[in-house]
Amino acid sequence: MSNPTFEVSADVIVPRAVRASVPREDPAAEGLSIQAYGPEIPATLLAAAERSADNPYSCLAVYRAFEPQSATVLRHLVITSADRVLGILSYHERGSSLFIVNRLLGFNDSILDRCVSLLFATHQAARRIVIEGVYEGEARLRYRTARRSWCAMENLLLDLPTSFEQYMGHFGPKTRKNLRYCAKRFQRENPGAEFAILTRDVIDEATVNSLVGLNHLRMESKGRTSGVDAKFAAALLTLGRSHGIACVARDKDGKILGGTLCTRVGNGLSLQVIAHDPAFNHVRLGLLCLLKSIETGIASGATVFHFLWGDSQYKALFGAHAAPLLSYRYYRSWIHYVFAFRDWRDQIAQTSKRYARRVRAAHRRAPGY
């Protein structure tokens, strides 16, 4: 039997709208305030900030999993409006620089400008503030401080509809047919196999290690090396236990053959790992698990699915669109701006790499490639 093929450009309707920056509250609005806290910040505020997020990067979920010791000494800026927590910027100090650890931030420039002003006023020795991964907004304001910004990468994300049937309409008839064929063939060739949804209460070390091991096998079959090492796997286990939701394909003996590990924060799902045994390439088992994850997310009320960084054909196939992410560097004075040679270098290098990735992606999409 032949392996099914999937047409990306012809079959998929990719949303044109770019995700807007959120929240967009005007800093001049009544009741908006920014308050500084040390490491002793109340846990209720951190929980409120997490409820306002839709991914584990804009709150502290990822940072706590990957940097548990450093997370205990972070300082924080709490941004509120009318007694509602809009979010928290957490940061640490190294030398004369302050580093914001949150990513995928949707604060508009006015709010960021006020946060930066407060940080410079609070930390007199600070000369530079680093913020990575801010969603690009429509408007740009003038700043009281020197600032450099550039687009370093994109988050590939999917705005989820209210029903799975509506989502399936994003695919063309050929892709829908091939997905159904793969699912039926997998069940036919593996009687007793099942797709199971695992929540954080039952995600254990064996589950994570199985998915990581399959990821390694998949990369080796492509002649590549997986970037998921033992330390990364341990952090994934912590993240899975706190915010995880996994979809795994298991045979009749309970062995995991493929799956995805996502995180659920607020109304958003974020894909952390997707993998399957290369023996199931012919039924696209990883994609079947991903489709089941999206179906589960829609059924539970999720409104956005973060595929995160890295341009891949399967992300385009599933309808993801690129939301540019900016890197910001703020400086206490224009003198510090001019002599920030490392930031000049980073801006040139990251902009060049992004341009090269876009050229390669366009080449892959070209007819006859």
Percent of the chain at pLDDT exceeding 70: 87
Look at 187-191, 216-220, 224-228, 328-332 and tell me which has the smallest mean pLDDT: 224-228
Q: How confident is the model at residue 294 (pLDDT cuts 50, 70, 90)?
A: very high
Query: Is the per-residue pLDDT at 18 higher than 50?
Result: no
The whole-number pLDDT of residue 72 equals 92
What does pLDDT average to over the chain?
87
The whole-number pLDDT of residue 144 equals 59
- In terms of phi and psi (left: phi > 0; alpha: psi -120 to 50; beta: otherwise), the region of 253 is alpha
The whole-number pLDDT of residue 141 equals 54
The whole-number pLDDT of residue 21 equals 36
Q: How confident is the model at residue 66 (pLDDT cuts 50, 70, 90)?
A: very high
- Closest by CA to 59, choosing from 209, 215, 265, 365, is 265
Specify whether the CB–CB gap between 45 and 87 falls below 8 A. Answer: no
The whole-number pLDDT of residue 37 equals 96
SS3 347: helix
Q: How far apart are CA 115 and CA 86, in angstroms?
A: 13
Query: Is the per-residue pLDDT at 14 higher than 60?
Result: no
What's phi and psi for 250, nearest 5 deg? Answer: -120, 145
Whole-model pTM over 0.75: yes
Domains 32-154+324-365 and 161-302 equal at CATH topology level: yes
**141 CB-near residues (< 8 Å, 6+ apart):** 109, 110, 113
- Closest by CA to 306, choosing from 278, 274, 338, is 274
The whole-number pLDDT of residue 19 equals 39
Residue-wise pLDDT tens digits, 70-104: 999 999 999 999 889 999 999 999 999 999 999 99
Residue-wise pLDDT tens digits, 303-312: 999 999 988 8
The arithmetic mean of pLDDT across residues 174-189, rounded, is 95
Residue-wise pLDDT tens digits, 219-257: 888 778 777 888 999 999 999 999 999 999 999 999 999
Query: Is the per-residue pLDDT at 364 higher than 90?
Result: no
Residue-wise pLDDT tens digits, 117-150: 999 999 999 999 999 999 987 555 555 578 999 9
SS3 94: strand
For the domain made up of 161-302, the CATH class stated in words is: alpha beta
The tokens of 206 are what?
């064996």
- In terms of phi and psi (left: phi > 0; alpha: psi -120 to 50; beta: otherwise), the region of 151 is beta
What does DSSP assign to residue 105? B
- In terms of phi and psi (left: phi > 0; alpha: psi -120 to 50; beta: otherwise), the region of 350 is alpha
Query: Is the per-residue pLDDT at 296 higher than 80?
Result: yes
Tally Cβ neighbours within 10 Å of residue 85. 18
Query: Where do the structural domains in the chain lie, given as residue ranges?
Result: 32-154+324-365, 161-302
Question: Which uninterrupted H or E stretch holds 334?
Answer: helix 334-338
Q: How confident is the model at residue 1 (pLDDT cuts 50, 70, 90)?
A: low
The tokens of 147 are what?
């600032």
**125-147 as b/e, with b when 16 or more CB fall inside 10 Å?**
ebbbbbbbbbbbbeeeeeeebbb
CATH, domain range 32-154+324-365:
3.40.630
- CA quadruple 309, 208, 245, 316: dihedral sign: positive
